[in-house]
Amino acid sequence: MGSTNTYAADLVRSGELYGDARRGGEIAVVCADAQTAGRGRLDHRWTSRPGESFTVSFVVNVPVSIVRDASIGGWLQMIAGLAVLEAIRGACPHRSAEPQLKWPNDIVVGGRKLGGILAEMVPIPDCGERVAIVFGVGLNLNVPVDRLPTENSISLQMLTSDLPDPTALRDELAARIVRDLRLRLTDFEADPQREAKRCLEAMNVVCWTLGKPCEAHFTDGSALQGRAIALNPDASLTMRDRFGALHRVTTADVGVLQNR
């Protein structure tokens, strides 16, 4: 298909998914063997070939009140990232390195990009209390070195010598993500403030961006260079520029500057 996220969002808009949603816990999964028009943050695009990539979208529904609350809503995407890390750890116990998260949405290993997450909110028809969120997860599973998207990319098969069959691995990763995502979202809905604090603690351990020189690119075309010094309680990132001024970044494509 073109994009699992687009397909999943269309299912929500048509009422086929969550047409009578009034509670959470249900997670729909859209898998593709290959994508011809995959989408990332800030309209980045990429394609995939059968057997080489994990191209899966997870559709959840959460209270509108959580999404609209700027003090906690940003953690929803981080929750998806933490679930992906746990799935990789469980499915690939003999990996040679640990996956981490590059704020806000990339999966990295040693600074090299293994994959990314795109979160999109989709209104549920005739349901004002809850809203759907589509988490699109793309991972390089068995991509040959000469076909990696960039020189700074990495594939899961480069981290382990016993990678399972690609289809079996995709299904296991998807199942693990569903289980972890359901638990985390259930807890988050029950006590958002408590779980936001727990997410912050977890992210401080696995966030590869912290402490590194970065450049943030914003949707208006502007950019900011500085050092990432802290994750904030609302899931934003604080950067200190070369003059010592602090900047809170909430939405941006943040890259780590190598050899600085």
* 20 compared with 80, residue with greater pLDDT: 80
d(CA 57, CA 120): 10
Average pLDDT rounded to a whole number, residues 184-198 = 96
Q: Over the stretch 149-184, which tens digit does the pLDDT of each residue have?
A: 888 999 999 998 788 888 899 999 999 999 999 999
- Examine the pLDDT at 254 and tell me if it is beyond 60: yes
Say whether 212-256 and 4-206 share the same fold. no
Contacts of 168 (CB under 8 A, 6+ apart): none
Q: Which of 29, 17, 9 is closest to 172 using CA atoms?
A: 29
d(CA 15, CA 115): 30
Q: Mean pLDDT check: name the lowest of 21-35, 49-63, 187-201, 225-239.
A: 21-35
d(CA 191, CA 93): 32
Average pLDDT rounded to a whole number, residues 31-47 = 67
Can you state the percent helix, strand and coil of the chain, rounding each to 5? Answer: 30, 30, 40
Asked if 224 and 215 touch (Cβ cutoff 8 Å), the reply is yes
- Examine the pLDDT at 57 and tell me if it is beyond 80: yes
d(CA 243, CA 23): 49
Average pLDDT rounded to a whole number, residues 237-260 = 91
**DSSP code for 39:** E
Please give the span between the terminal C-alpha atoms of the chain, in angstroms, as a whole number: 41
- Examine the pLDDT at 213 and tell me if it is beyond 90: yes
pLDDT recorded at residue 42? 44
pLDDT recorded at residue 237? 97
CATH superfamily of 4-206: Bira Bifunctional Protein; Domain 2 (3.30.930.10)
Average pLDDT rounded to a whole number, residues 3-12 = 94
Instruction: Delimit the domains of the chain by residue range.
Output: 4-206, 212-256
CATH number for the region 212-256 comes to: 2.30.30.100
* 137 compared with 146, residue with greater pLDDT: 137
Token output for 145 = 């070195």
Q: Over the stretch 97-139, which tens digit does the pLDDT of each residue have?
A: 999 999 988 999 999 999 999 999 999 998 889 999 999 999 9
pLDDT above 90 covers what percent of the chain? 70
Average pLDDT rounded to a whole number, residues 38-57 = 70
